[in-house]
Each structure stands twice: as structure tokens, then as C-alpha cells.
Copies of this chain bind each other. A is one copy, B any other.
Amino acid sequence: MKDRDVQADQMLTDQVLTALRQITQAIDIHSRFLEKNYAVTVPQLIVLRTIQRHQSMAVGGVAAAMSLSISTITGIVARLEKKGLLARSRCEEDKRRFLLRLTADGERFLLSAPPPLQETFLNRFDHLENWEKHMVLGSLQRLVALMQARDIDAAPILTSGPVAAPER
């Protein structure tokens, strides 16, 4: 039994959660700002950039590259297609796939579009001292590692259906 100040520990973790939510919120707010002024959201912009980098990609490829689920990408792609920034075509080799590529409008758009958060937060982040940037990134990645350390040991409580979801 460690002799710790449990109260203080709880406060610390609460603060972490609050900080995380505030960060998420800030990104979300920026996304809405983008949507209002540039007609695309942050996720949409990142999808466009990702496809641009690869020239042409399948839906699953984008999902893997962004570590998002396929169904999420489907929705985003549908909205981008409706805006005419992106086109889908059946892959000839494997007709299960759709190949995604930018339209001329899409290319043109990216040339004038702002990078995801550059105008705001990332711009300021960029101006931090190098050691501080690395410290922040290190902390974030520490959290990611902690969170991704599979919950498997704690999970099997209500065993309805396939308990051990293979991955993700």
C-alpha cells in the first residue's frame, strides 16, 4: 500500500480529462470555423490532402492512413463528392473497390485552402521552443501508449457476444 495523497491523484486525473476535452473542443470549434469560411471541415480537408498525396486511393486506404473507420470515411467522401472536390470510380483490377481522386476543382481548392489548423493553434505551436514542442509531443504519445495498452485485462465483465474484439 503506497502512502499517497489519493485526493490529489484524483484531481490530477480529472484535470487531464478536462484538458483533453478542451483540446478536442478547440479543434472542433476550428473545424466549424473552417466549414463556415471555406466550406470544408478539418476531417474533410485531411481526407483531401491524404488522397492528393497518393494521387488516387481506395476508401479503405484512406481509412487506414487516417486511422478512422471505413464507414466514417464513406460519409466524408460522400460530402466531398457532393461538393465536386473529389470523384469516385470503380477500380478496374478489383471491382469491389472505389478509387478516389481529386477533381480539378479539388486540386484548385487545395492550392488556396489553409492547412488544417495552421491559422490558429498550430501556428502558435510552431513558435514554441523546440524542446517544448518535443515535450508536448512526448507527453501526448505517452498518453496514447497508455490508452492503447489494450483494455483486454479489464474487459470481460458482461460477456455478450464476441468479447475480445480482434483489433482496433
Contacts and interface: CB of A to CB of B under 8 A. Distances in A.
A126 B13 contact: yes
A136 interface: yes
B19 A141 contact: yes
Contacts of A113: none
A164 interface: no
> Would you call the interface of chain A mostly helix, strand, loop, or mixed?
helix
A37 interface: yes
Contacts of A132: 142
A151 B33 contact: yes
A55 interface: no
Interface stretch (A24-32, A75-83, A87-95, A99-107): A24-32
A125 to B, nearest CB: 6
A23 B124 contact: no
A140 B16 contact: yes
A155 B78 CA distance: 28
Given A12-B133, A122-B13, A157-B37, A144 B23 contact: yes
Given A13-B125, A33-B155, A37-B158, 17 more contacts: A9-B126, A12-B134, A16-B137, A17-B116, A19-B143, A23-B147, A25-B67, A30-B151, A36-B160, A119-B154, A120-B147, A120-B151, A120-B154, A124-B149, A128-B146, A136-B142, A139-B139
